[in-house]
Chain A
Amino acid sequence: MDFRTVYTTCAYCGCGCGILLEVLDGEVIGTLPVKTHPVSQGSLCIKGWNIHEFVVSERRLTEPLLKKNGRLEPVSWDEALDAAASRLKRVVAEHGPDAVAILASAKVTNEENFLLSKFARAVIGTNNIDHCARL
């Protein structure tokens, strides 16, 4: 039996509370507050206490899906990424880079948002990137 807790940051609202994810044999089984955290100081709200539940939800996407004949069907990563790349290339070739737009996310990490900005600007060549802070 392998049990450990992992100190990380809650992913719900903007408070940024500290949480300890309880991991048993590679599965997240619970959430605990962090006494030493500067913002949460040992408290969590109902969402925070239960944040491990969505992680292991049965509804999580587990494989790439590609629309074929009007239906989303499971495909390999290679097929999915090849399709994404070739179709993006075609749009850029036919309509220019500003025919592509990207929505970055308030839910992914700083590192990922930074890469999305780089992807839009350096890879595609457009400044059409925004996210839902307005919403």
Chain B
Amino acid sequence: MVGLAAAFGSGAMTNSLPEFAESKALFVIGSNTTEAHPIAAKWIYRGKMNGAKLIVADPRSIQLAEMADIAVHHRLGTDVALINGLMHIILKEGWHDQDYVAQRCEGFEELAAKLEEYPPDRVAEITGLSVEALRRIAELYANNKPAAIIYAMGITQHTTGVDNVKSLANLAMLTGNVGVLGGGVNPLRGQNNVQGACDMGGLPNVFSGYQPVADEAANQKFSQAWGKDLPQKPGLTITDMFPAIEEGKIKALYVVGENPMLSDPDLRHIEEALKKLDLLIVQDIFLSQTAKLAHLVLPGTSFAEKDGTFTNTERRVLMVRKAIEPIGQSRPDWQIITDLAARLGYPMEYSSAEDIFQEIRQLTPSYAGMTYARLAPSGLQWPCPTEDHPGTMYLHKDRFTRGKGLFTPIDYKPPAEVVDPDYPLWLTTGRTFVHFHTGTMTRVSPSLHHEQETAYMEINPTDAREMGIKDGERVRVSSRRGEIQIKAKVSRKVDRGIVFIPFHFAEAAANVLTNPAYDPTAKIPEFKVCAVKVEKLAAQAA
């Protein structure tokens, strides 16, 4: 969430899910909300019922599009051009919030100059949308306040992911929609505790509460609390770890509850790297594809067997409570970590998860006012600095975390890989309503497995007819990185020239095909765009 941090000073979702019910416009871009975040979608429906205008921009005909005031399919990877084009129109029409921009933001002149380069006819050419559609979106978004922007991985999983997010931040600030109830820029987090993992310092450059490891005062504070001089140089991101393993710089990897063997791009490279390690420790609840390669597998417990907290996408810290004893000999992950630390000569003395939370509060100002007792009924949203603070429903009211909101002029750049005669189709990946991430949890659930047993590839009826592919037929899909076989699902959800594959399924893993090219700042791989070819299987063709 580097993009939002640069613009506002905080990388989290600015507003809260229930606020969508009070928005007057909802701009959903790069989020298939009804499938990936169904309960967030419920709040979008409520907003719509209360009269909000709904704008949907997505390369596929997602369910939300059916009830939208306007729904468009812009070309894959053209988000920056689209958003610049909308801002161009808003400025020309004088629909921007001049007082807000003057008082609360900086960098407007530079942005305005850049937007001159994005007149509607040029943007129409890049995005494939009509000038009328661009005008309609700009008008609906700018003239119905408060307006909320809602996005997910469809915005971030690009080589231009940070640019895309900064562009959305520009759009929201230009129209005075940040720091107001029902507005904001709202990333929907894909996994239950992504927000918490970030908040707690599961990142190479910060301690908990985003206190930089390289900051003298922060480093000293944690060094003192933990009784050890802590390293000041930021570490490697996940996307830099794998090359470092291949170069022999990283010898040992300790993986907790992750399955890079299915979630990372270009899986062949990942597997080669993991096999090169002197030591791979995997702590998980299932024998994942990654765990199968490990030297050592440690059985952690599921959320049902331990106490603790998760932080949801809207910064709400929520209680997790132990319902049953650990299955077999599995142990709560926090106990495994403390056992391991003790054997390495660093005893950690905690008698419960709540004990650990006390230390989190002491070292993390945004969590300082939270206690398990206060969290019990319905959680609290950070920042919550003191025990009498009610928590924070939306950020940046009256003042941005960084002071003034920063506009950044952004240029459109095409995706890292584009279609050509050898690989003539665009591939985009995503989720389905039944399964979750790499499927380790949902695919062992009988009810969910029954709904969707295996992988498929959506292809447009016209493309399918021209290639002689029938619904349900197995086909070969290949990219410059690998190939898979998969069942074709002929569907109008995708336009001509595009195919879609959900990434949950190991037996036909979309990430064998995807491009590891990543955003230079956020290091997020470009899962949402690459070039592929689709062929009938030889046996069937003959």
Identify the A interface with B (CB < 8 A): 6-18, 21, 23, 26-28, 36-40, 43-57, 59-67, 72, 77, 80-85, 87-89, 91, 94-95, 97-135
Within 8 A of A (CB), among B293-323: 294-300, 302-306, 308-314, 316-323
- In the complex, A35 Cα to B40 Cα: how many Å? 16
Count of A-B contacts judged by CB separation below 8 Å: 435
With a cutoff of 8 Å between Cβ atoms, the chain A residues found around residue B448 in the complex are 46-47, 50, 53
Would you call B299 and A111 a contact (CB within 8 A)?
Answer: no
Which positions 212-235 of chain B face chain A at CB distance < 8 Å?
Answer: 213, 222, 226-228, 230-231, 233-235
Q: Which of B364-412 contact A (CB under 8 A)?
A: 377-379
Mark out the residues of chain B between 319 and 363 whose CB falls within 8 Å of any chain A CB in the assembled complex.
319-325, 327-334, 336-341, 343-344, 346, 348, 353, 356-357, 359-360
The answer to whether A16 touches B313, judged by C-beta atoms less than 8 angstroms apart, is yes
B194 contacts which chain A residues (CB < 8 A)? Answer: 14, 106, 131-133
Given contacts A10-B192, A46-B451, A64-B296, contact A91 B251 (CB under 8 A): yes
A11, B258: Cβ atoms closer than 8 Å:
no
Is the CB–CB distance between A106 and B327 below 8 Å? no
* A100 interface neighbour in B251, B434, B445, Cβ under 8 Å: B251
Least CB separation from B316: chain A residue: A16
Q: Give A56 Cβ to nearest chain B Cβ, in Å.
A: 7
Q: B193 contacts which of A47, A106, A125, A127 (Cβ < 8 Å)?
A: A106
Chain A residue at smallest Cβ distance from B1: A133
The residue of chain A having its C-beta at the shortest distance from the C-beta of B40 within the complex is A15
| Top-7 shortest CB links A-B | A62-B328, A16-B312, A109-B308, A14-B189, A127-B235, A104-B202, A105-B257
Do A112 and B334 touch (CB < 8 A)? yes
**Which of B132-140, B464-472, B520-528 makes up part of the contact surface?**
B520-528
Distance of A115 Cα from B304 Cα, bound (Å): 20
Of all chain A residues, the one with the shortest Cβ separation from B34 is: A45
Q: Are A117 and B192 in contact (CB under 8 A)?
A: no
CA distance A132 to B287 in the complex (A): 18
State whether the Cβ of B95 lies closer than 8 Å to any Cβ in chain A: no
Bound-state Cα–Cα, A6 to B323, Å? 6
Q: Which of B39, B322, B332 contacts A15 (CB 8 A)?
A: B39
A108 contacts which chain B residues (CB < 8 A)?
A: 193, 197, 256-257, 300, 308, 333
Encode B166-180 as 1/0 by CB contact (under 8 A) with A: 000000000000000
Residues on B with beta carbons closer than 8 Å to the beta carbon of A133? 1, 189, 191, 194, 197-198
Selected contact of A127 from candidates B42, B231, B306, B518, CB within 8 Å:
B231
Q: Which residues of A contact B305 (CB under 8 A)?
A: 55
> For B1, what are the chain A residues with a Cβ–Cβ distance below 8 Å?
133
Of A27, A37, A130, the most chain B CB neighbours within 10 A belong to A130
Q: How far is the CB of B253 from chain A (nearest CB, A)?
A: 5
Q: For residue A26, which residues in chain B have a CB less than 8 angstroms away from its CB?
A: 324-325
**Stretch from B70-78, B203-211, B489-497 forming part of the interface with A:** B203-211
Which interface class (under 10, 10 to 19, 20 to 34, 35 or more) fits B? 35 or more
State in angstroms the CA–CA spacing of A108 and B201 once bound together. 13
Q: Closest chain B residue to A65 by CB distance?
A: B297
- B51 interface residue per 8 A CB criterion: no
A47 to B337, CA, bound (A): 29
Of the candidates B196, B226, B235, B297, which one forms a contact with A118 in the assembled complex, judged by CB atoms under 8 Å apart? Answer: B226
Q: Known contacts being A65-B297, A103-B253, is A128 close to B204, with CB within 8 Å? A: yes
Report whether A39 and B302 are in contact in the complex, using a CB–CB cutoff of 8 Å. no
- In addition to A40-B39, A53-B446, A91-B251, 10 A-B residue pairs with Cβ atoms within 8 Å of each other are A26-B325, A60-B299, A61-B284, A84-B296, A88-B281, A115-B338, A115-B341, A130-B238, A132-B191, A133-B1
Most A Cβ at <10 Å: residue of B18, B202, B309, B323: B202
Question: Is the beta-carbon distance between B241 and A130 smaller than 8 angstroms?
Answer: yes
Contact A98 B235 (CB under 8 A): yes
CB-CB nearest in chain B for A97: B231
Contact A46 to B327, CB < 8 A, known contacts A72-B294, A107-B192: no
B299 to A: closest C-beta gap in Å: 4
Question: Once the chains are docked, how many angstroms separate the CA of A80 from the CA of B344?
Answer: 14
- Tell me which of B189, B233, B254, B344 contacts A102 (CB under 8 A): B254
- CB pair B321–A7 under 8 Å, yes or no, is yes
- Assuming the contacts A13-B189, A88-B252, A114-B208, asked whether A109 and B525 have C-beta atoms less than 8 A apart, the reply is no
Closest chain-B Cβ to A127's Cβ sits at a distance in Å of 3
**Cα of A69 to Cα of B534 in the assembled complex, Å:** 41
Q: Give the Cβ gap from B300 to chain A, nearest Cβ, in Å.
A: 7
Contact, CB under 8 Å: B313 / A100: no
Render B497-534 as a binary contact track against A, CB cut-off 8 A, 1 for contact.
00000000000000000000010001111010000000
User: What residues on A are CB-neighbors of B356 within 8 Å?
Assistant: 111, 114-115
Distance in Å from the Cβ of A129 to the closest Cβ of chain B?
6
Residue-by-residue, is B441-472 near A (CB-CB < 8 Å gives 1, otherwise 0)?
A: 11011111001000000000000000000000
A60 with B328, Cβ < 8 A, contacts A47-B434, A100-B250 known:
yes
Residues of B near A111 (CB, < 8 A) are: 308-309, 334, 353, 356-357, 360
- Shortest CB-to-CB span from B519 to chain A, Å, is 9
Chain A residues positioned under 8 Å from B378 (CB to CB): 18, 36-38
Of chain B, the residue at the smallest CB distance from A87 is: B279
With the chains together, A116 CA to B264 CA distance in Å? Answer: 21
> Do A128 and B235 touch across chains, with their CB atoms under 8 A apart?
yes
- Across the interface, do B199 and A101 meet the contact criterion of CB distance under 8 Å? no
8 Å CB contact of B442 from A54, A65, A95, A132: A54
- Chain A residues with CB under 8 Å of B357's CB are 110-111
Decide if B254 touches A100 in the complex (CB within 8 Å): yes
List, sorted by A's number, 14 A–B pairs whose CB atoms are closer than 8 Å.
A14-B191, A14-B312, A38-B316, A39-B316, A53-B444, A53-B447, A60-B286, A87-B252, A109-B334, A112-B308, A113-B200, A116-B202, A122-B226, A125-B231
